[in-house]
Amino acid sequence: MYPIIKRFFDIVFCLLALIILLPLFIPIIILLLLTGEHEVFFRQNRVGFHNKIFRIWKFATMLKNSPNMGSGDVTTRNDPRVTKMGQFLRISKLNELPQLINILTGDMSFVGPRPLMKAGFDRYSDEMKTKVYQVKPGLTGIGSIVFRDEELIITHSTLPPHECYRQVILPYKGAVEVWYQQHVSFYTDCMILFLTGWYIIFSNSKLVYKVFPSLPRRSF
């Protein structure tokens, strides 16, 4: 029953968000047209519900050929492939807002595991691949909150970026996404939305573990 209710709220709040955020979209689009490679939107294949591929919408923040440059699908802090305007959009998370289109079309929800590129998804264990996307991917999620500093972890690791992602980040990220599915409810989704905004302002807060005391804790 909850998935039906969740879909209803996704549609209603998505339409409201698009109307409210339209004045914000306009200056972002103009600035993107005038800077970087003059690209506004970025479309890319991502793994979604039941491991099906869909096309994600984002504001363009990186060079067009970035997947074939540097560290590929793994982004580091101060990554040279990120444009100056893109740095602001990524830090503020405004680059994710076009995914409201994906929510409206039903490929995504407001809350769920972040949709990975196929290359990133393939680094999961075979067992985890069958578990992570048993719910729709989300604009935000518990993994997004816990790993808000993912780029910094990868940058400071002694491991190569792809190995750090595979050995350090993915096992724990998979664990928190399974935790989400075990605790999915209206309350959990509302608190994740609240915490997403909270961590944009208070990035070093530990509030997520007070709100969700059963959430697996990071050891790094």
pLDDT of residue 34: 92
Residue 29's pLDDT is: 95
Whose tokens are 């029953």? That residue is 1
Q: What is the pLDDT of residue 64?
A: 80
- Looking at residue 80, what is its pLDDT? 85
Q: Where are the domains of the chain?
A: 2-211
What pLDDT shows up at residue 158?
A: 87
E strand or H helix that includes residue 145: helix 142-146
CA 76 – CA 149 distance, rounded (Å):
10
Ordered alpha helix ranges (H), 35-94: 84-92
Cα dihedral across residues 33, 70, 78, 177: positive or negative: positive
- pLDDT tens for the chain, 220 residues: list them: 888 999 999 999 999 999 999 999 999 999 999 988 889 999 999 999 999 999 999 999 988 877 767 666 777 767 889 988 989 998 888 999 999 999 999 999 999 999 999 988 999 999 999 999 999 999 999 999 998 888 888 888 888 888 888 888 888 999 999 999 999 999 999 999 999 999 988 988 999 999 999 999 887 7
Q: Which pLDDT value is given to residue 71?
A: 67
What does the pLDDT read at residue 47? 97
Predicted model pTM: 0.86
Q: Which residues pair with 59 in a beta bridge?
A: 41
